[in-house]
Amino acid sequence: MIARALAALGRPALGTLAALGRGGIFAGSALSHLLRPPFYAREFWLSCIQIGWLSLPVVGLTALFTGAALALQIYAGSARFSAESVVPSITAIGMVRELGPVLGGLMVAARVASSIAAEIGTMKVTEQIDALVTLSTHPMKYLTVPRMLAATLCVPVLVGIGDVIGIMGGWMVGTGRLGFNSATYMKNTWEYLEFWDVGSGLVKGAAFGFIVALTGCYYGMNSGRGAQGVGRATKSAVVAASIAILAANYLLTEVFFAA
């Protein structure tokens, strides 16, 4: 009875550890290929367009509405202490440190990790990955490395643009609904914002981009057979990327800002 209960606990724990190990080996292999030629420039640029440029609308809209809602919430909270003047600075700090990178990362995870997993998973079940190998092309170099590099470089840019749009969202609500003077709002925003507030968010963006591409490629390459296998790989990629982003966000926040 006790042995069975322990086995029931141990099995998923071992399964999780094994999955983490496989993911770690996959990441190590991808990084080692990143440093060795050949490099596929065309694949890299296409990935930059797919991951960066085409994610801009969804990240921008997310940032806009988040910045606007954040300004309203901070106003409602700060009004209890007659400290409404903090709205611009707290909105900006909240956006660039946390909400910009985290929500941007999650939106990219939903859009990009799913698409990468589905694309590579379909390639696997239709033997396109095998075809790549027979054509003397390493799938890790051709499929994984360009996507990981593109995501790691593009997501911080998306986060930076999202930060600006989010602050603008706060400004629109602040000046349009909460009665702030436009110049004062902008002055308070920039005055209290420090370089590392923005820099830490961009570093988080790079880490989240890496996670998104890594999980998408990993689950795609390990996709099961048929439509169900690809569907499961896609779902798992989004879930794993989202959880990994939230966990990495906590760890990075501890590293960057713990007293």
Give me the residues that bind another protein (CB under 8 A), please.
38, 40, 46, 122-123, 126-128, 130-131, 133-137
- If the CB atoms of residues 38 and 176 are measured against another protein, the closer one turns out to be 38
For another protein, the closer CB: 125 or 248: 125
**Which residue lies nearer to another protein by CB, 122 or 234?**
122
Q: How far is the CB of 211 from another protein (least distance, A)?
A: 24
Q: How far is the CB of 128 from another protein (least distance, A)?
A: 5
- 120 touches 221 (CB < 8 A): yes
3-state helix, strand, coil in the chain (%, to 5): 90, 0, 10
Q: How far is the CB of 132 from another protein (least distance, A)?
A: 8
- Rounded Cα distance between 15 and 80, Å, is 49
Nearer to another protein, 84 or 119 (CB): 119
CA 9 to chain CA centroid, nearest Å: 31
> Which of 116, 132, 129 has the alpha carbon at shortest distance from 219?
116
Phi, psi of 98 (to 5 degrees): -120, -65
Find the shortest distance in angstroms from Cβ 78 to another protein: 51
Residue 194 region by backbone torsions, left for phi larger than 0, else alpha for psi between -120 and 50, else beta: beta
The amino acid that residue 250 corresponds to is: Y
Which of 214, 224, 86, 72 is CA-nearest to residue 155?
Answer: 214
The smaller minimum CB distance to another protein, of residues 59 and 117, is found at 117
Q: Which is nearer to another protein, 28 or 38 (CB)?
A: 38
The 8-class DSSP code of residue 52 comes to T
CB of 226 to another protein, least distance (A): 13
Count of residues in the chain: 259
- CA dist 95 and 130 (Å) reads 44
- Burial of 12-26, coded b for 16+ CB within 10 Å and e otherwise, reads eeeeeeeeeeebeeb
Of 26, 1, 51, 83, nearest to 159 by C-alpha is 51
Least separation, in Å, of the C-beta of 230 and another protein?
Answer: 13
Measured from the CB atom, the residue of 143 and 198 that comes closer to another protein is 143
Alpha-carbon distance of 225 to 24, in angstroms, equals: 23
Smallest gap, in angstroms, from Cβ of residue 134 to another protein?
5
